[in-house]
Amino acid sequence: MSTQSPDILPHKVFIYDTTLRDGTQMEGINFSLEDKLRIAKRLDHLGVHYIEGGWPGSNPKDIRFFEEMKNVQLTSARLTAFGSTRRAKIDVDKDPNIQALLAAQTGTICIFGKTWDLHVKEALNIFLEENLDMIKESVAYLKKHNKEVIYDAEHFFDGYKANPRYALSTLETAMDAGADTIVLCDTNGGSIPQEIEAAIVMVKKVVKIPLGIHSHNDSDLAVANTITAVKMGCCHVQGTINGYGERCGNANLCSIIPNLKLKLGIDCISDEQLKNITEVSRYVSELANMVPQTHQPFVGASAFAHKGGIHVSAVRKNPLTYEHILPELVGNARKILISELAGQSSILHKAEEYKIDLSKDTEDVKKILNKVKELEDEGYQFEGADASFELLMKKTVGDYKPFFTLKSFRIIVEKNGHEMLNSEATIKVEVDDEVEYTVAEGDGPVDALDKALREALEGFYPILKGVHLTDYKVRVLDAKDGTAAKVRVLIESSDINETWSTVGVSENLIEASYQALRDSIEYVLYRKGTKK
């Protein structure tokens, strides 16, 4: 592989996922053992070739993970244990970390060693020659135990810039000791593509075994550096789902894999497996308890979102006008956003999505468009509240009849001395000429109102028992008006099958909340076939 010229791409690139080890070093991420087991199975289904499960010599959780994984049958991936070369002044067969790697009983082991003379002298405080011995003995010892050995050359690019002769000698040492693959690591994430390319040219003159790349994102170039390395002949790529990792993160496999597959035509996973990458991205985000990165390329919820009317019109005629790939290839979907920038094409697209019969240049289209612009001028925002917009369209074309009528509501917030606030909502609604009067308490005024409204309607519409509020956001629209400022309330609701969002705007927080709550309930009643 290393003898290829820069313009000849490898026919096959092996994907090495380190989400469960390097990814967990990101601030705010702490996977449980069960989380790690679930993610490993999803990664295997995605088709990655290596799953780095952790460092079994560093913590009890990783030791248990490798024990549990002995009972899991992987179909695509090789489970990999990660660790370091032996410690200084310790024989390799006595080193506890090396023994922990063997105890994990994985067919593949990845070890890292020092490449940068700065680290050898100042971090390890040993002679340069002793570091070479540590690399040689560790790789050879693991090979003696019939392991596939991947050698990660930590800080390679910084080491190469500082002392190229020594940095290359560490790679030669690992190769001569029997390493199967040598991975060049941009550990500090400070390199740019030209530096990656120049260094690999020299590495290929010395190393005659497969090369890999491991990039960090401190210069926001991890994906670019990885693609550059592949174009230089590297056939092994390391990264994490969503780019999770320490500091600014690691190379993002959710961008690397589609680029390799769709832009460079390199075999890494199958077409069908690629369609799962958006789902895997969001699944890992959920288990990591991290908010999905909306604007992330390929897999983000906004990666194929269109807002401007001219863009929407063009995309409806041919998606390639404003999309570099079809979203379905990566398991994502096109999204047409409705806002004051919308044109007739945006309205017609949504009409098709909602199965509303509209034709271009009709009065209904113009009414909807004008209504959207009028409401957005008042502070409404429909790009994050599709359910409210669907109701607006149906009401405008006359394809809608309310499921209930609000007669009145009253909210009391009481505080006695140092006791906690108590909120009570009283609501009166009418359904089919029948009036229901309900009282409910809640943790706050909006919670009390939500409970009272649902309790009043559940007798008429039992389906509401399975609906619950999952998110509530308030934004002050013009802070200079102080306590008289308008607020916009966005509410997310869900049942067992679906999630939807609604919006309300008013100078009164309770009124804005009621509008969003009302739309949420009317939306689910309409969608679930409880039409009047």
pLDDT in tens, 176-190: 999 999 999 999 999
Domain assignment present for 56? yes
DSSP annotation string for 466-488: G-EEEEEEEEES-GGGGGG--EE
Domain assignment present for 1? no
- Indicate whether 48 and 147 sit together in one domain: yes
Q: What letters, b where the CB count within 10 A reaches 16 and e where it falls short, cover 26-46? A: beebebeeebbbebbbbbbbb
Answer yes or no: is pLDDT of 387 > 90: no
- Indicate whether 227 and 341 sit together in one domain: no
Residue 243 pLDDT: 98
Determine which of 228-232, 260-264, 376-380 has the lowest per-residue pLDDT on average.
Answer: 376-380
What is the β-pairing status of strands 422-431 and 305-306?
Answer: unpaired
Q: How far apart are CA 7 and CA 25, in angstroms?
A: 35
Q: How confident is the model at residue 342 (pLDDT cuts 50, 70, 90)?
A: low
- Indicate whether 349 and 421 sit together in one domain: no
Residue 530 pLDDT: 60
| Torsion angles phi and psi, residue 95, rounded to 5 | -75, 125
Answer yes or no: is pLDDT of 312 > 70: no
pLDDT in tens, 140-175: 999 999 999 999 999 999 999 999 999 999 999 999
Domain assignment present for 298? no
- Indicate whether 249 and 338 sit together in one domain: no
Single residue among 337, 372, 396 that ends a domain in this structure = 396
Domain assignment present for 90? yes
- Indicate whether 310 and 333 sit together in one domain: yes
Q: What is the dihedral of CA 503, 507, 508, 509, to 10 degrees?
A: 50
- Indicate whether 360 and 507 sit together in one domain: no
Residue 479 pLDDT: 64
Coil, strand, or helix at residue 415? coil
Looking up residue 323, the CATH number of its domain turns out to be 1.10.238
Q: How confident is the model at residue 343 (pLDDT cuts 50, 70, 90)?
A: low
- Indicate whether 461 and 509 sit together in one domain: yes
Task: Return the structure tokens found at 387.
Answer: 């359910």
User: Percentage of residues in the chain with pLDDT exceeding 90?
Assistant: 66
Answer yes or no: is pLDDT of 95 > 80: yes
Q: Which residues pair with 492 in a beta bridge?
A: 471, 501
- Indicate whether 422 and 439 sit together in one domain: yes
Domain assignment present for 128? yes
- Indicate whether 155 and 42 sit together in one domain: yes
Residue 4 pLDDT: 42
Written as one letter, the residue type at 29 is I
- Indicate whether 356 and 471 sit together in one domain: no
Answer yes or no: is pLDDT of 526 > 90: no
Q: Average pLDDT, whole number, for the chain?
A: 89
User: What mean pLDDT do residues 287-308 have?
Assistant: 86
- Indicate whether 226 and 353 sit together in one domain: no
Residue 308 pLDDT: 63
Domain assignment present for 332? yes
Domain assignment present for 295? no
| Torsion angles phi and psi, residue 358, rounded to 5 | -130, 145
Q: How many domains are contained in the chain?
A: 3
pLDDT in tens, 70-84: 999 999 999 999 999
Single residue among 343, 362, 396 that ends a domain in this structure = 396
Answer yes or no: is pLDDT of 235 > 80: yes
Task: Return the structure tokens found at 467.
Answer: 């609906």
CA distance to 258, 297, 470, per residue, from 293 (Å): 17, 9, 19
Q: How confident is the model at residue 203 (pLDDT cuts 50, 70, 90)?
A: very high
Looking up residue 282, the CATH number of its domain turns out to be 3.20.20.70
Answer yes or no: is pLDDT of 340 > 70: no
User: What mean pLDDT do residues 231-258 have?
Assistant: 97
- Cα angle 94-96-102, degrees, rounded to a multiple of 5: 95
Looking up residue 523, the CATH number of its domain turns out to be 3.30.160.270
- Indicate whether 391 and 269 sit together in one domain: no
Domain assignment present for 3? no
Residue 443 pLDDT: 87
pLDDT in tens, 444-485: 999 999 999 999 999 999 999 888 888 888 888 776 666 678
**Which domain, by its residues, includes 235?**
14-288
Determine which of 93-97, 361-365, 398-402, 458-462 has the lowest per-residue pLDDT on average.
Answer: 361-365
Task: Return the structure tokens found at 62.
Answer: 């990783």
User: What mean pLDDT do residues 223-240 have?
Assistant: 97
DSSP-H helix ranges across 177-290? 193-206, 222-231, 253-258, 271-274, 277-288
Single residue among 255, 288, 321 that ends a domain in this structure = 288
pLDDT in tens, 19-65: 999 999 999 999 999 999 999 999 999 999 999 999 997 889 999 99
User: What mean pLDDT do residues 251-274 have?
Assistant: 96
